[in-house]
Amino acid sequence: MTYTFVSVACLAALQILLALNCSLNRIILKRSHGCDEDPENSLYRAIVAHRNACEYGPILCILLLVCSVIAAMGSGMPAWAVWLGPAVVLVRVCHAASILLYSLRRPTILRRIGASGTYVLCLLLCGLIVYSRFS
């Protein structure tokens, strides 16, 4: 459970840091609201990174916590599932970093790893929950 709690805290910290980055970009660019949809604009990239984290962070936290509770109950969760929390944090950080550091005009390998890793891990966590209930 410790890995799960630390992972959830890291995902929350990532969300807060991405929000702070949006605020700092607004201060620097003197934009109190709105933003030009320019893939090279740092504020636009900050908003996209934060928005994407808002989309996936909550569901990932819920899935990780449910898996952790199932594991604590001894209900068929594999031992290796404990490493899914750190893996989730890693792919989400990769995705956010790729958006903040590189142009959005075309995907980078880091963004592909972050996006595909997010999808795979979400589906894997869902599958583990269902599997644990029927095993």
pTM: 0.89
Please list the pLDDT of the chain residue by residue as tens digits (135 residues). Answer: 788 999 999 999 999 999 999 999 999 988 888 888 888 889 999 999 999 999 999 999 999 999 888 888 887 778 788 889 999 999 999 999 999 999 888 889 999 999 999 999 999 999 999 988 877
pLDDT at position 80: 84
Rounded Cα distance, 24 and 22, in Å? 6
Question: In the chain, which residue ranges form alpha helices assigned H by DSSP?
Answer: 2-29, 42-72, 84-101, 109-134
First to last CA, the chain: 21
Question: Measured at the alpha carbon of residue 47, what is the angle toward residues 111 and 61, in degrees to the nearest 5?
Answer: 65
pLDDT at position 82: 83
Is it true that domain 2-134 has CATH number 3.40.50.2020?
Answer: no
Rounded Cα distance, 92 and 23, in Å? 20
The domain limits of the chain are 2-134
